[in-house]
Amino acid sequence: MEMEPDFLDRYQRQLSLCEVGLDGQRALRAALVMVVGLGGLGCPVVQYLAAAGVGNFVLVDADRVSLSNLHRQILYNQKDVGRFKVEAAQEWIQKQNAQIKVSVYTEMLSAKNATAFLALADIVVDCTDNFAARYLINDACALANKPWVYGSIAKFEGQVAVFNALMKGAEGENQDMMASEVSEDSFIRSLNYRDVFSKPPGEGEIQNCAEAGVLGALAGIIGSFQAMEVLKWILGLQGLLVNQMLTYNAIDQSIVKFQLDNNSDRK
Please list the alpha-helical segments (H only) found in 70-123: 85-96, 114-118
Give pLDDT tens digits for 36-93: 999 999 999 999 999 999 999 999 999 999 999 999 999 999 999 999 999 999 999 9
Query: In the structure, what pLDDT confidence band is assigned to residue 180 with cuts at 50, 70 and 90?
Result: very low
Query: With contact defined as beta carbons under 8 Å apart, do 150 and 134 qualify?
Result: yes
Residue 143's CB is within 10 A of a number of other CB atoms, namely: 12
Pairing of strands 123-126, 148-154: parallel
Domains present along the chain, CATH in parentheses: 13-259 (3.40.50.720)
Q: Which residues contact 102 (CB under 8 A, 6 or more apart)?
A: 56, 57, 58, 59, 89, 90, 93, 94
CA dist 209 and 153 (Å) reads 7
CA dist 103 and 108 (Å) reads 15
CA dist 189 and 147 (Å) reads 9
Global pTM value: 0.91
Half-sphere exposure of 147 (CA within 13 A, CB side): 30
Give pLDDT tens digits for 106-165: 999 999 999 898 988 999 999 998 899 999 999 999 999 999 999 999 999 999 999 999
Give pLDDT tens digits for 204-230: 656 666 677 889 999 999 999 999 999
CA dist 251 and 264 (Å) reads 34
CA dist 17 and 24 (Å) reads 9
